[in-house]
Structure 1
Amino acid sequence: MENTVYIQMKRRLTINKSSSMKLGEMAQIIAPERMKDLRQMVVLSKTSDIEKKFIVLDVMTVISKITSRYPDSDIQVIGPSETIIELVEKRRSVPSFLFVLVWLLLFVGSGLAIMNFHEETSMQTMHQKIYWMMTGKINSTPYIVQIPYSLGLGLGMILFFNHLFKKRINKEPSPLEIEMFNYQQDLDQYVVLNKHKESTKYSDDH
C-alpha cells in the first residue's frame, strides 16, 4: 500500500497551444506522501509543434512516466484510460462592427425564414378565420390575434433554448445543449477510434 498510486484520467481537457500540461491537471491522483511531486510532473510539452487539434493521451504513457521516476510504484487505474486534449489558439478580441454585422445577418435571416414559413402555411388566413370564429366578424388584419401570437412565438423560443441572453431560466438542459453534448460525445469517440486506427496501421507497417 505504501507504493500504490491511484489514477483517474479526465475524459476531456482544453488547453492553449504552446502550453504544457502536468499530471495533476489531467488526472486525479492519490499517492503516498513521498510521491506528491507526481502532480507537478510534466506529461505533455512542446504543444506548439503539434499540428493536430486533438491529442489522445493514453494511460500507458502516464504509467511509463511514473514508473521511470518511481520504479517500485504500484499503479491502479480507475475510470477512463484515455484523455482527449484539445489544443486551441489564444482567443483574439472580435471587432465590434463584425459582431454587429453577424448579429444583423442572423436577425434578418431568421426573420425572413419565419415569414416565409408563415406565408407557405397561410398563417394570415388562419388568423383571420380564428378572429371570425371568436367575433363573428371578418377582419383582414386581426391584430388582436397576431400580436399575442408573435409574442408567444418569441416566448416559446426563449423557453425552448432555456436562455434569456446569458441567464439560464432553469437548471434543465435545453434541447440544443443535449444535441451539442451528443455531438461532443460522437466527436470524442471518433478521435479515439481514429487514433487507434493510426496506431494499428503503424504497427502493421513496422
Structure 2
Amino acid sequence: MSVMVYIRLKQKIQSQRNQTIYLRDIAYIEAPKECKQELEQVPLYTVRESDRNIVIVDIFRVIYVLRQHYAQLEIQPLGPEQTIVTIPNLKQSPSYIAVGVIWILLFIGAAMAIMNFHYDVSMEEVQQRVHYLLTGEKVEHPLWFQIPYSLGLGVGMMLFFNHFFKKRINEEPSPLEIEMYKYQLDLDEYVVYHENEVSKESMHHDSSIP
C-alpha cells in the first residue's frame, strides 16, 4: 500500500563545508508520524571542500533519493522546485579604515547630491521669495525657514527609509528594503538557472549519497 508524502522545499538554507544535508534541513514534510520521522533523517548531500559558495538541491534529486530508500512512497512536491544552499566563507574582521573611508565618501556624495539639486531648482531664491511673501521683507538668509527645512530633510530621510540607525520605526518595509528584496529574488532566480546543471552533475557523482 502506497503512502502519500507531501514535500515543500525551502527557498534557501545555509550550510557549512563537510556538513551533511538531510531532508529535514531543506524541506517541510507532511506524512504519517512514523514515516515522517524516518524521512527527516534521509541524507541528501554532503557539502564538500571543492564546492563553490552555492549548491542547488533540485526536487528531482530529492525524489530520486527517496525512491532508492522507499519505493512504496507516493511523493507529492509542493512549492519551490529547488533549494539554494549557501556556503559562507570564513568571516574576516572588518577593516575600520575601509569602513571609515566608505562612510566619508558616501557622506560627501550625498551632501553634494543634495546641494546640486538645490542649486538646480534655485532653492535659495525660492526660500527668499517665500520669506518675502510672508513678511514683506527681503532677506538674503531667512534662517527661520532654512534651519527647519534642513532638519526636515534628515527627518524625512529617516521616515522614508523607516530606520533610525539600527532601530526600525515601524513594521512597514521601506522602499529600499523592497528593492533589495526584489533584487534578491532576481539573484536567486539567476543562481538557480545557471548553477542548477552544475550542482546536479556534482551531486550525481557524489559518492557520499546513498
Q: TM-score, normalised by structure 2?
A: 0.83
Q: CA deviation at 1:40?
A: 2.8
Gaps of 5+ in 2: 200-210
Contact 1:13 1:86 in 2 (8 A): yes
Identity of aligned residues (%): 41
State how far apart, in whole Å, the 2-side matches of 1:114 and 1:127 are.
16
What is the SS of the residue equivalent to 1:88? coil
After TM superposition, where is structure 1 displaced by more than 6 Å over at least 4 residues in a row?
196-199
Residue 161 of structure 1 aligns with which residue?
161
Answer yes or no: is 1:50 the counterpart of 2:51.
yes
Secondary structure of 1:7's partner?
Answer: strand
User: What is the total number of aligned residue pairs between the two structures?
Assistant: 198
Q: CA deviation at 1:197?
A: 7.8
Distance 1:197 1:42, change over 3 A: closer
Secondary structure of 1:40's aligned partner? coil
Task: Spell out the pairing of 1:1-206 with structure 2 (5 A cutoff).
Answer: 3-32=3-32, 33-51=34-52, 53-195=53-195
Task: Give the Cα separation in 1 of the matches to 2:173 and 2:36.
Answer: 41
Q: String of CA shifts for 1:133-172, please: whole Å, max 9, x gaps.
A: 1111111111111111111111111111111111111111
SS in 1 for 2:29: strand
Closer, same or farther: CA 166–63 of 1 in aligned 2, 3 Å: same
TM superposition shift of 1:41? 2.6
Q: Distance in 2 between matches of 1:19 and 1:120?
A: 57
Question: What CA deviation, in whole Å up to 9, does each residue of 1:109-151 have, x standing for no partner?
Answer: 2112211221222111111111111111111111111111111
Contact in 2 for aligned 1:9/1:78 (Cα 8 Å):
yes
Q: Decide whether the 8 Å contact of 2:21 with 2:47 is kept in 1.
A: no
Distance in 1, Cα, partners of 2:148 & 2:99: 31
Cα contact 2:20–2:46 (8 A) shared by 1 = yes
Task: Supply the RMSD in Å over aligned alpha carbons.
Answer: 2.3
Rounded to whole Å, the distance in 1 between the matches of 2:17 and 2:136 is 68
CA contact 2:30–2:36 (8 Å) conserved in 1: no
Q: Distance in 1 between matches of 2:18 and 2:99?
A: 28
Deviation sequence 1:82-120 (CA, Å, 0-9, x none) = 222233213222133332222222112211221122122
Bigger mean CA deviation after superposition, 34-43 or 73-82: 34-43
TM-score by length of 1: 0.84
> Letter of the aligned partner of 1:62 in structure 2?
V
Deviation at 1:198, TM superposition (A): 7.5
Where 1:171 maps in the other structure, the secondary structure is coil
